[in-house]
Chains A and B, each alone.
Chain A
């Protein structure tokens, strides 16, 4: 039996091709109504996709674009990804929800509680994708923050990941005791300050949110080169990589293994997802034509950090199967056009991959469970044998 993988999808405004919005006549205002997001998330949920990431940035312009002279014709406008994911939570059932969060300008405390709350509202399906947001456009929107070089930006992202874990662990699972006899709602001994002081910021207190269903929601990062590989190896549960073919995937996996051997503190293996931009059409040849039309509209061939695969569901499935054989844990598909390619993934590609036994089956309810990651104990938890306290069993009030 061949190696089986998970399928994830990366949602990004009108799609990953810069001309996708223009081709479809999408206006900025169309992208900020909830309906298209709900429709796409539900379709992916029904199709058994393990999680959907939601792109975000704290700027109007794209990362490598001149902020003073935004290119005409690009699709603009988006919603805050954590809030969008939160709105999708009650309307979906199994799919993991992984919003993108910028580490440079946000408050780590707000990020921690926002993702915990997403985990509560989704009953254990939250993750987060951390990105460094050092572009000039992002800095200009916030002002005052000194420029960080790339290395420093990744170090700061590492601190954010570290403090997220501390805050998520800060309440032990059993901290709420509702002990009517003594009038104590919580046990202060089971709530712990983060007490984090790093190079970029410090955070003293515990989270204001009790421990969430997954304990620690899933942390993910996208990595193209050594610095982010090391960030991922040290701090992430899931890493997205961008091999342009099976051979490249093998090389990246080897480099990640090396970084993990050196840096990784978690006992759990880093889960690796290969990113692929996909454009899907049932009729042979039509996907290539559609891609060529988009390229014409944008005035040049689309170059992405990830491989671009345009084809029929069978052709795309073949590419995915080849990647799966390299030993990655999953493939994250970036739809070139939304919603068309999202629906093609849900209705055509996923069933095909399932039927040909490429996809991993799972019946877990939480995102960690589906990824085969155990639910971590709080770092402050003590096993009963170690517990120095001799408190008798507490009388609990039924919630």
Chain B
């Protein structure tokens, strides 16, 4: 029996502000210069990736009241760099993370439609809500939205954006007027960008709460998740795909691409050794302590990174998690679990932080990595991965050269781009259903 295998989808994450890019490596280049982005995007194209992906951070992280010095810091404006990339690439999708909290629908919708035109149909939008007063202090609206309200705004934002994108018909000289009055937005709009090649850019979603998953089930076409362990990935896959039916959608209308790191060796042993080495570069002693300081909310600089966990109480009174995503969980519970892990396995501070932050998803020979990626996809734990390297901008080179050909041999990965394919085509997504019937524009 020769049923063709499920096709693997790969995204290439250009690491922005982060703690895992080994910037001390002599091969490490700029995080800002356009040449680095161009090199990276061309490598993604050489490896037939679906899209290049950028995260977003709207304020410089701080640590102990100062700009954080240890990690890669600084990134270009997402939309501007993707627009520039559109000019020097031909096939790869261009997906940016852009907040629904600190943008306005009319403006962001026209920017995304612009990117779709400039790239001949390769634009995507990772719609995130993340916000707090710390980030909000850089914007007119400030940090005014509570967590629960952010998805309300995100939903209304996405719904209004879709109406704007749908307001031009092919070949028409004028758009339809969009009247929208909701809790978040009250506009009477004539959208000024004609319908773009994809009609609408592909919508990506990354939030993990129930609200986030519901938003994803309603609006997203790709989910970027952190659940990379096989069983956890499978649970998320079933959960999110299970939510689609309520919106009249089928399994293929949404792809789930968890983040994945990798370390390649000629033998398994060599790969494991390299992985240990890279992890030690990723988590230097001062970074290990900083990680704990983020959890404890206090200065731990006197402690030994190669020793046991500090035996002091955390300071939970002050707002210390400035600009650090996903670290707001109950501090006490967090510390208890850290202690449990380090005691059970006899881990030093640095070893613990390596375990938590520098665990590489796929470690092994190219054959091993290719077969693992394929297994996840064939067994419906994911639809593919969002690959992140540990170097900028060369982090994808080895993957493109050594792993991609093996995926192609398996018949589960493309060996060419179709001429004129849009990002939605690359992802195998259905064309978007129009939200507007001829008279619906004025409704509501």
Which residues of chain B come closer than 8 Å to A89, judged between CB atoms? 34, 84, 87
A371 vs B140: C-alpha distance when bound (angstroms): 33
A88 within 8 A of B: yes
A182 within 8 A of B: yes
Q: Please determine whether B115 and A83 come into contact, CB atoms closer than 8 angstroms.
A: yes
Query: Contacts A70-B174, A121-B80; is A87 near B71 (CB within 8 Å)?
Result: no
Q: Nearest Cβ in chain B — how far from A120, in angstroms?
A: 6
Q: Please determine whether B69 and A185 come into contact, CB atoms closer than 8 angstroms.
A: yes
A171 within 8 A of B: yes
A144 vs B139: C-alpha distance when bound (angstroms): 16
Which residues of chain A come closer than 8 Å to B199, judged between CB atoms? none
A140 vs B107: C-alpha distance when bound (angstroms): 12
Q: Please determine whether A76 and B59 come into contact, CB atoms closer than 8 angstroms.
A: no
Can you name the residue of chain B whose Cβ is closest to the Cβ of A92? B87
A84 vs B114: C-alpha distance when bound (angstroms): 8
Which residues of chain B come closer than 8 Å to A61, judged between CB atoms? 190
Query: Contacts A140-B187, A140-B189; is A28 near B286 (CB within 8 Å)?
Result: no
Interface 0/1 of A26-40, CB less than 8 Å to B: 011100111000100
- Restricting to B72-97, which residues have a CB under 8 Å from any CB of A? 72-77, 79-81, 83-84, 86-88
Interface 0/1 of A65-106, CB less than 8 Å to B: 001001010001111101110111111000000000000011
A392 within 8 A of B: no
A313 within 8 A of B: no
Which residues of chain A come closer than 8 Å to B30, judged between CB atoms? 399
Which residues of chain A come closer than 8 Å to B194, judged between CB atoms? 28-29, 32, 76-77
B137 within 8 A of A: yes
A32 vs B80: C-alpha distance when bound (angstroms): 17
Interface 0/1 of B61-77, CB less than 8 Å to A: 00000111111111111
Query: Contacts A58-B106, A109-B58; is A87 near B192 (CB within 8 Å)?
Result: no
Q: Nearest Cβ in chain B — how far from A19, in angstroms?
A: 14
A210 within 8 A of B: yes
A137 within 8 A of B: yes
Q: Tell which of B32, B70, B86, B185 touches A210, judged by Cβ atoms closer than 8 Å.
A: B32
Q: Please determine whether B34 and A120 come into contact, CB atoms closer than 8 angstroms.
A: yes
Q: Please determine whether A206 and B60 come into contact, CB atoms closer than 8 angstroms.
A: yes
Can you name the residue of chain B whose Cβ is closest to the Cβ of A171? B74
- Restricting to B84-121, which residues have a CB under 8 Å from any CB of A? 84, 86-88, 102-104, 106-107, 110-111, 114-115, 117-118
Which residues of chain A come closer than 8 Å to B140, judged between CB atoms? 107-108, 200-201
Segment of B20-28, B238-246, B269-277 in the binding face: B20-28
For B, the interface residue count at a CB cutoff of 8 angstroms equals: 72
A123 vs B83: C-alpha distance when bound (angstroms): 15
Q: Please determine whether B173 and A32 come into contact, CB atoms closer than 8 angstroms.
A: no
Q: Please determine whether A105 and B104 come into contact, CB atoms closer than 8 angstroms.
A: yes
- Restricting to B218-266, which residues have a CB under 8 Å from any CB of A? none
Can you name the residue of chain A whose Cβ is closest to the Cβ of B68? A188
Q: Tell which of A34, A107, A191, A398 touches B102, judged by Cβ atoms closer than 8 Å.
A: A107
Segment of A110-118, A146-154, A353-361 in the binding face: A110-118
A297 within 8 A of B: no
Q: Please determine whether B190 and A60 come into contact, CB atoms closer than 8 angstroms.
A: yes
Q: Nearest Cβ in chain A — how far from B395, in angstroms?
A: 15
Interface 0/1 of B180-207, CB less than 8 Å to A: 0000011111111111100000000000
Q: Nearest Cβ in chain A — how far from B264, in angstroms?
A: 23
B175 within 8 A of A: yes
Query: Contacts A33-B117, A77-B193, A182-B286; is A117 near B76 (CB within 8 Å)?
Result: yes
B317 within 8 A of A: no
B57 within 8 A of A: yes
A289 within 8 A of B: no
B308 within 8 A of A: no
Q: Please determine whether B190 and A88 come into contact, CB atoms closer than 8 angstroms.
A: no
A249 vs B138: C-alpha distance when bound (angstroms): 40
Q: Please determine whether A399 and B29 come into contact, CB atoms closer than 8 angstroms.
A: yes
Q: Please determine whether A142 and B187 come into contact, CB atoms closer than 8 angstroms.
A: yes
B149 within 8 A of A: no
A181 vs B197: C-alpha distance when bound (angstroms): 50
B351 within 8 A of A: no
Q: Please determine whether B83 and A185 come into contact, CB atoms closer than 8 angstroms.
A: no
Q: Nearest Cβ in chain A — how far from B75, in angstroms?
A: 6
B7 within 8 A of A: no
A27 vs B385: C-alpha distance when bound (angstroms): 40
A114 vs B138: C-alpha distance when bound (angstroms): 15
Which residues of chain B come closer than 8 Å to A176, judged between CB atoms? 73-74
A295 vs B228: C-alpha distance when bound (angstroms): 64
A27 vs B168: C-alpha distance when bound (angstroms): 13
- Restricting to A118-134, which residues have a CB under 8 Å from any CB of B? 118, 120-121, 123
A90 vs B192: C-alpha distance when bound (angstroms): 26
Query: Contacts A121-B34, A188-B69; is A105 near B284 (CB within 8 Å)?
Result: no
A141 within 8 A of B: yes
Q: Please determine whether A83 and B80 come into contact, CB atoms closer than 8 angstroms.
A: yes
Interface 0/1 of A185-222, CB less than 8 Å to B: 11110010000000011111110111000000000000
B214 within 8 A of A: no
Can you name the residue of chain B whose Cβ is closest to the Cβ of A21? B173
B302 within 8 A of A: no
Q: Please determine whether B81 and A185 come into contact, CB atoms closer than 8 angstroms.
A: no
Q: Please determine whether A186 and B186 come into contact, CB atoms closer than 8 angstroms.
A: no
Q: Please determine whether B114 and A208 come into contact, CB atoms closer than 8 angstroms.
A: no
List residues of B whose CB falls within 8 A of some A CB: 17, 23-24, 26, 28-30, 32-34, 38, 57-60, 66-77, 79-81, 83-84, 86-88, 102-104, 106-107, 110-111, 114-115, 117-118, 137-140, 168, 171-175, 185-196, 284-287
Can you show 6 pairs from A to B with CB atoms below 8 A apart?
A27-B173, A32-B196, A80-B193, A114-B80, A121-B34, A208-B60
What 6 A-B pairs are tightest by C-beta distance, nearest first?
A: A117-B80, A204-B137, A86-B83, A83-B83, A113-B77, A60-B190
Given contacts A29-B194, A121-B76, A186-B73, 4 further A-B contacts (CB under 8 A): A121-B84, A204-B59, A206-B67, A397-B24
